[in-house]
Chains A and B, each alone.
Chain A
Amino acid sequence: AQSVTQPDIHITVSEGASLELRCNYSYGATPYLFWYVQSPGQGLQLLLKYFSGDTLVQGIKGFEAEFKRSQSSFNLRKPSVHWSDAAEYFCAVARMDSSYKLIFGSGTRLLVRP
């Protein structure tokens, strides 16, 4: 069965520091992968997605993610974190059945120190 693991429940970084959020997936074929961000009490906003092609994907707000098939990973990165990046981040993989439903990881909450 497909699954998504985000091993870090919380991460705290200082403003201006670099960030990497980990995501590992379990899926037999080439996955469709997504990163979403959720501010408190809000819906989810798509940061970026990977379907095929270049394994380094650029997203909004200065985020990028790299698909590594050999490691079954899709880690999210940002070179310099801003205080406004504090939020919860969800990695997701699309189920390749007729419904194309998403399977989400449990999320990583990012705290930013001033």
Chain B
Amino acid sequence: SQTIHQWPATLVQPVGSPLSLECTVEGTSNPNLYWYRQAAGRGLQLLFYSVGIGQISSEVPQNLSASRPQDRQFILSSKKLLLSDSGFYLCAWSGTSHEETQYFGPGTRLLVL
């Protein structure tokens, strides 16, 4: 069966520091991968998605970037964190055909101070 992992689970970082969040998927190949951010008390906002290695699409302009160095690895990064980057970051995967469901990881809670 497929599983999706995210780490770290919780992260506290100072403003201006770099960021690297990792997401890996097991039990499937060539998945679509997604990064979402969930601000406190709000819904999910899609940040990036990827349909293959090295293929990244950005949904909203921001201080963050994403990379997909391997088929089942998706990384969310920042060179300099802002206070507004605080939130709950969720990674998800799906198959690549129609009628595919997205399955979510456990999330990473980021607090920027």
- Chain A interface (Cβ < 8 Å from any Cβ of B): 32, 34, 36, 41-46, 49, 51, 90, 99-102, 104-107
Instruction: Please determine whether B43 and A99 come into contact, CB atoms closer than 8 angstroms.
Output: no
The tally of CB-CB contacts under 8 A between chains A and B is 47
Interface string of B70-96 (1 = CB under 8 A from A): 000000000000000000001010100
Instruction: Please determine whether A107 and B43 come into contact, CB atoms closer than 8 angstroms.
Output: yes
Q: How far is the CA of A101 from the CA of B59 in the complex (A)?
A: 10
Instruction: Please determine whether B109 and A41 come into contact, CB atoms closer than 8 angstroms.
Output: yes
Instruction: Please determine whether A99 and B49 come into contact, CB atoms closer than 8 angstroms.
Output: yes
Instruction: Please determine whether B42 and A106 come into contact, CB atoms closer than 8 angstroms.
Output: yes
B-side binding surface: helix, strand, loop or mixed? strand
CB proximity of B51 to chain A, nearest CB, Å: 7
- Chain B interface (Cβ < 8 Å from any Cβ of A): 6, 32, 34, 42-44, 46, 49, 51, 57, 59, 90, 92, 94, 98-107, 109
Across the two chains, which residue of chain B brings its CB closest to A106? B43
Instruction: Please determine whether B51 and A43 come into contact, CB atoms closer than 8 angstroms.
Output: no
Q: How far is the CA of A62 from the CA of B97 in the complex (A)?
A: 28
Instruction: Please determine whether B101 and A46 come into contact, CB atoms closer than 8 angstroms.
Output: yes
Instruction: Please determine whether A43 and B43 come into contact, CB atoms closer than 8 angstroms.
Output: no
